[in-house]
Amino acid sequence: MKNVLLLGLACLFLTNQTLEAQKKNKKKKSQQETTAPAKKPKNGIKSYTEVITKDAKTDDGIFKVHQVNDAYFYEIPFTNLNQDMLWVSRIAQIPNGLGGGYVNAGSKTNEQVVHWERFQNKILLKIKSYVNVAEEGKAIRNSVKVNNYEPILYAFDIKTFSKDSTAAVIDVTKFFTSDVPAISGLSARLRKTYKVKKLDGDRSFINSVKSFPKNIEVKQDFTYVASEPPTEGRAETISLQMNQSMILLPEKPMQPRIYDPRVGFFTVSQYDFGSKELKADYKTYIRRWRLEPKDPEAYARGELVEPIKPIVYYLDPGTPEELQKYIKQGIEDWQKPFETAGFKNAIIAKDAPTPEEDPDFSPEDIRYSVVRYVASTTRNAVGPSVSDPRSGEIIESDIIWYHNHLRSYRNRYLLETAAANPSARTLDTPADEIGEMMRMFIAHEVGHALGFPHNMAASYAYPVDSLRNGAFTQKNGIAASIMDYARYNYVAQPGDENIRFIRQMGPYDHYATNWGYRYLPEASSPAEEVPTLDQWILAKANDPVYKFGRQSSRFDPQSQTECIGDDPVLASTYGLKNLKYVAEHLPEWTSDQTNDYTDLEELYGELLGVYSRFTGHVTTTIGGVFENLKKPNQEGVVYSAVPKTQQQEAMRWLHKNVFNTPDWLLIKDALPNIDHAGYFETLRSVQARQLNALLSFDRLGRLIDNEEKGGYTAYDMLKELRAGLFTEAAQGKNVSLYRRNLQRSYVDRMQYLMTEEDKGYNYSRSGFESKLVYNINTSDVRALVRGELETLKRQLNAVKNNGSTLSRYHYKDLIARIDKLLAVD
């Protein structure tokens, strides 16, 4: 019995031990299950719910965008892979002074075509170029591809796949919070200027990501550590907000229109390696909006038809109330030229929607074109646009107006028109006239955004004296196009009546709009459009009103910035008459009214600039070459020198109005109140500007060309210039202070021609190919300069002991300078 009891107790003990061990093992196993690291998913790809958790906030659009806490994910459908998308980087908010005033909220910092591509378990964001192309299906397309390998902007790991396995999910957080140069708001130049050290990750973050049916908009707040920031220097910080727009480009590009240099358009270009030519065919297309008629049959009958998608511009919500109507008018002034092309209501101005009307509206959103009003002291405005490089189709544009630019317009209005225009003789320009200036300036910038560059020949279309005719100017304005730099009528004289002083739209604007935008459905390719387009040009070819002139005012008197009328000498004669009247009354209209010299000082400085422009228009005539763009089936040549008699007249004019001291510029009631000294240098600098322009390598090269043509030659010009500059030596007269300065400037410039090499200019913009570069040492330049200096030395030696003490000192100094220059080492 005792043994049985002991056995029972032992079994009970063992049973308890077993049960306790089982409990401990179960508890241990449970702890292991909750604390042991999870097994890594195959290939690093997790389940959808592990990545896009129940806490995710999802925005559905072209891609689904998920926000999980501070992380952002793109869910990219496989159907969107390898599709062309336009990526545009803009500054959304900017610190004061960044970029010296020419960078602002809305400034585009980069524009590139990208596409998303899968490689194994990664999604690659690649930059795509359309510089080199070949038609699909041609063998050479393979060669184009392998010789134009696309750079990878970023590589993303695939985190998971969508529940239906039709899309890949990637984490874009690091990409949008890193300092990626291709989408940055700070260029290498700005980084160097402000000594930027790095992006501060703790102060940089994603502000918002919004997905729409065809685009995604991302706002990033970036803070950089910088030793010399533009403002708040002690903070050593630059903060700005960027907006990244990614928009799906049309699957089928718009049919391009082939560029013709006889009609002005901005362009996109490609090298077509699939061409039948014996080389890569360089193709250039115009940049324009896609306008297609809602009713093609009515359009074909010649009726005005609304476009399927009109061009819409929104006003910046920060636009001053008093200017809004003028900005809208400037935008919609282009409706009439579009009617010439067959479209009604083709361009529309709208107020920006309120947050209640559209909480997603943003001026940086690439779906919207906006007239941005920038609170900046910069005096400028621009009209950039974003286009599809495959076809030239303009996708979006922003007009940027800087607040202080209105002051520039007021000042120019006073200086250039006040002699004949009493309402301009004030610092308080009437509001309706300021509004009209704003309207026309916006129309000019909208023209750029529609694809039109400057047409500098439009102001040469009208005879100078017609600009003094009230009926003519009211009907035709002062230039044949709003795209010229012809802001004001400075030709009209006191007593001329009913004059229009402010520019307006012209006949060329209608012609160019029709040429670029008229819908031609019967043409199935760009090449098939050319015969029709060519006929339209030929029909207007001999009418200067429809001439396009590139911005090449270095050599063509027809295409000069700020010039009006078809005779620069006559126009500048009228302009100087007016400017002398303004100079005489400038204190009366400024400081006498304000009891302050600030405006007088500002306007005096700008008056010198106006004087330089008027005289520079005449300088261009000397060594000038007319450029009349044409094809071989048109009569005449493209380039022809300005007639000798006109160049000689221009030289006489310069001696009379520039080199013979223009002492009327030294306004006796102004200078003693705005500067303590330096009047002689003020005058010398405006004279030397035209002197140096005459004595330039490229002008001398063009004049040398004329020797065999019987035209005005470099020898003729140099001889007449020297004779006019040194009349005192020829006539035995004393030399005044201002003439002494001018004569020394002449010898200095001749030294430049003798010793410097012409390095030329690197123009990167179409229409600026006007610099002549040639071998100076083997040309006649140095021989001509040496000959003129030796002739001048003989002339000065004959009079060096005559005249006043200062005149004798001056002559001996010039002789010493020439001797040193001509000395043989």
CATH number at residue 438: 3.40.390
Does any domain span residue 48?
no
Give the sign of the dihedral formed by CA 741, CA 742, CA 743, CA 748.
positive
CA-CA-CA-CA dihedral for 533, 539, 543, 545, to nearest 10: -40
The DSSP-derived string for 773-803 is: ---STTSSHHHHHHHHHHHHHHHHHHHTTSS
Give the sign of the dihedral formed by CA 261, CA 262, CA 267, CA 269.
negative
Predicted local confidence at residue 20, as pLDDT: 52
- The answer on 264 and 244 residing in a single domain is no
Q: How far apart are the C-alpha atoms of 112 and 122, rounded to whole Å?
A: 22
Phi, psi dihedral angles at 265 (to 5 degrees): -145, 145
Q: Which residue has the tokens 């508890």?
A: 27
Predicted local confidence at residue 1, as pLDDT: 44
Cα Dmax for the chain: 158
Decide if 398 contacts 363 (C-beta within 8 A). Answer: yes
Token pair for 583:
């100079």
- The answer on 471 and 328 residing in a single domain is yes
Does any domain span residue 171?
yes
Give the sign of the dihedral formed by CA 351, CA 355, CA 357, CA 361.
positive
Decide if 666 contacts 674 (C-beta within 8 A). Answer: no
- The answer on 507 and 431 residing in a single domain is yes
- The answer on 264 and 238 residing in a single domain is no
Residue type for position 364: E
Does any domain span residue 713?
no
Q: How far apart are the C-alpha atoms of 285 and 338, rounded to whole Å?
A: 20
Decide if 63 contacts 75 (C-beta within 8 A). Answer: yes
Token pair for 536:
């339209």
CA-CA-CA-CA dihedral for 222, 228, 232, 234, to nearest 10: 110
- The answer on 435 and 293 residing in a single domain is yes
Q: How far apart are the C-alpha atoms of 759 and 221, rounded to whole Å?
A: 43
Count CB-CB contacts under 10 A for residue 36. 8
| Segments in 281-400 forming alpha helices (H) | 296-300, 324-332, 335-340
In the chain the first and final C-alpha atoms are separated, in Å, by 139
Does any domain span residue 662?
no
Closest CA to 268 of 138, 395, 123: 395
Decide if 248 contacts 214 (C-beta within 8 A). Answer: yes
Does any domain span residue 664?
no
Predicted local confidence at residue 281, as pLDDT: 79
- The answer on 244 and 262 residing in a single domain is no
Task: Give the number of C-alpha atoms closer than 13 A to the C-alpha of residue 497, restricted to the C-beta side.
Answer: 0
SS3 116: strand
Listed in sequence order, the residues at least 6 apart from 205 whose beta carbon sits closer than 8 Å to its beta carbon are: 70, 177, 220, 221
Q: Among 204, 228, 248, which residue terminates a domain?
A: 248
Does any domain span residue 65?
yes
Count CB-CB contacts under 10 A for residue 104. 20
- The answer on 368 and 316 residing in a single domain is yes
- The answer on 7 and 148 residing in a single domain is no
- The answer on 280 and 401 residing in a single domain is yes
DSSP state of 393: B
DSSP state of 402: E
Decide if 807 contacts 734 (C-beta within 8 A). Answer: yes
Residue type for position 203: R
Q: How far apart are the C-alpha atoms of 530 and 532, rounded to whole Å?
A: 5
Q: Which residue has the tokens 């083997």?
A: 778
- The answer on 507 and 386 residing in a single domain is yes
CA-CA-CA-CA dihedral for 432, 434, 437, 438, to nearest 10: -100
Q: Which strand (E) or helix (H) includes residue 600? A: helix 598-619
Decide if 104 contacts 185 (C-beta within 8 A). Answer: no
Mean pLDDT by runs of 10 across the 825 residues of the chain is 43 46 48 43 82 94 95 96 93 83 77 94 92 73 74 95 95 95 91 92 93 92 92 90 92 94 92 71 92 97 97 90 93 98 97 88 84 69 79 89 77 96 96 94 94 95 98 97 95 97 97 98 95 97 94 85 96 98 96 94 95 97 95 94 97 98 92 87 95 95 90 97 96 95 97 81 48 86 96 96 95 96 72
Q: Which strand (E) or helix (H) includes residue 811? A: helix 805-822
Q: How far apart are the C-alpha atoms of 341 and 533, rounded to whole Å?
A: 13
Predicted local confidence at residue 136, as pLDDT: 74
Does any domain span residue 461?
yes
CA-based Rg of the chain, rounded to a whole angstrom?
A: 35
Q: How far apart are the C-alpha atoms of 321 and 558, rounded to whole Å?
A: 39
Taking phi over 0 as left and psi of -120 to 50 as alpha, with beta for the rest, 163 belongs to alpha
- The answer on 318 and 207 residing in a single domain is no
Listed in sequence order, the residues at least 6 apart from 226 whose beta carbon sits closer than 8 Å to its beta carbon are: 194, 195, 196, 197, 236, 237, 238
Domain range for 68 is: 55-248
Number of structural domains, the chain? 3
Predicted local confidence at residue 394, as pLDDT: 94
CA-CA-CA-CA dihedral for 247, 253, 258, 261, to nearest 10: 0
- The answer on 153 and 105 residing in a single domain is yes
Count CB-CB contacts under 10 A for residue 799. 19
